[in-house]
Structure 1
Amino acid sequence: MDLRKVKSLIDLVSESDISELEISEGQDKVKIVKTAKDSGSYPPSISKDYITSHNRQEGNNSSDSSLEDLKKQSSVKEEGLLIVSPMVGTFYRAPSPNSAPFVNIGDQITEGQTLCVVEAMKLMNEVPADKNGEIKEILVENGQPVEFGQALFRLA
C-alpha cells in the first residue's frame, strides 16, 4: 500500500470522530486506532512538530504530501540530520540474526545505501539513506518496534 495513502488515512482518523479504521487492499491490511483520551493528543505515529508545522501550512492544501515532506519538515535539527522510519514495524540493524549490521556509529554512508530493515507484516523493508553523511548516533535498539516517522539514525 502506498505510504501517501496510509498517511492520508492517519490524517483522516485523527481529524474525525472515527475511533478505528481498518482497510484491506489486496494482501495489504492497515488498521488505525485512535487513542481513547481525546485531550488534543495526536496519534503516536505523527510528531507534534509535524502537526504544528502542518497546521501553519493549511492554506497550502497539497494532496501530494508524502514521507519526503515529513522528512524535510522534521529531519533538520541543530544536532544533525535524522533518518526516519518509513513505516510502523520492527527495527533490525542486520539482514539476519547472524549477519553484521548494515552500519555502525562512525560509518560514512552514501545516498541509497541500506541502513537497516523494518519488518512489517512479515515483510522485510530496507531503509535506504536519503543523503550522504556519517552515522553519529543509532537511536533505536535492534529488535525494537518503531513508528512511522520515528527517528532511527542521526547523521553528522
Structure 2
Amino acid sequence: MDLRKLKTLIDLVSESNVSELEITEADGKVRIVKQSTAPAMVMAAHYPGQPMAHPAPAAPVAAAAPAAPVAEVITGHVVKSPMVGTFYRASNPGAKALADVGTVIKKGQSVCIIEAMKIMNEIESDVDGTVTKVFVENGQAVEYGQPLFIIE
C-alpha cells in the first residue's frame, strides 16, 4: 500500500465518526485506530516478506487521566438525521422546543428542524412514544444517520 493511500485513509478516519478501520489487501494489512486524545494513527502494518512493524510505545498515562468512555446501551427507537445540516430544536429562536426529554410524541409529529442549503426541513417521528434522550444541541451541525433522539 503506498504512502498516499495510507495518508488518505488516516485523514478519512480522523475526519469521520469511524473509530477503527482495518484493510487487508494482497500486498499487506493495515489497521488504523482513532484515539480520543490523539489523531488517527497507524497501529500496525504488515507486508509479506518484511518484518512486522510495531508502533512506538505510548506515553505513560497520568494517574488523574479520565477513564475511557464506556459504551452506552441504547434502548428504544433512535430517530436519526435523514440529512446533513444544522439541527434546531424549535421552529424559531426563543420558541418552545418541538421535542424535549419527557415529551409524548405521536407518529408523524415534528421533533426538530434541520436546515440544509437554507431550507428548513421538519423531521417527523416515525413512532409513538416518549422522548427519553436528546443527543444534539441546538444549532449543532449533524451528519446523515447521526442519532438525534431516543423515543421509548
Report the residue type matching 1:36 in the other structure. Answer: T
- Residue 97 (1) aligns with residue 69 (2): no
| Counterparts of 2:144 and 2:17, CA distance in 1 | 5
**Aligned with residue 129 of structure 1, among 125, 128, 148:** 125
Q: Which has the larger radius of gyration?
A: 2
8 Å CA contact retained: 1:44, 1:147: no
Match of 1:64 in 2: none
**TM-score of the pair, normalised by structure 2:** 0.54
CA RMSD of aligned residues (A): 2.9
Unaligned runs of 5+ in 1: 1-34, 49-76
| Structure with the higher helix share, 1 or 2 | 1
> Larger RCO: Structure 1 or Structure 2 (Cα < 8 Å, ≥ 6 residues apart)?
1
Q: Percent identity over the alignment?
A: 40
Unaligned runs of 5+ in 2: 1-6, 21-72
| Counterparts of 2:90 and 2:11, CA distance in 1 | 39
Cα shift readout 1:71-109 (whole Å, capped 9, x = no counterpart): xxxxxx752210000000000000000211111110110
Count of paired positions: 95
**TM-score of the pair, normalised by structure 1:** 0.53
Report the residue type matching 2:133 in the other structure. Answer: E
- Structure 1 residue runs of 4 or more that deviate by more than 2 Å after TM superposition: 35-48
| Counterparts of 2:85 and 2:138, CA distance in 1 | 12
8 Å CA contact retained: 1:105, 1:138: yes
- Residue 37 (1) aligns with residue 9 (2): yes
Structure 1 counterpart SS, 2:139: coil
Report the residue type matching 2:117 in the other structure. Answer: M
| Structure with the higher strand share, 1 or 2 | 2
Structure 2 counterpart SS, 1:36: helix
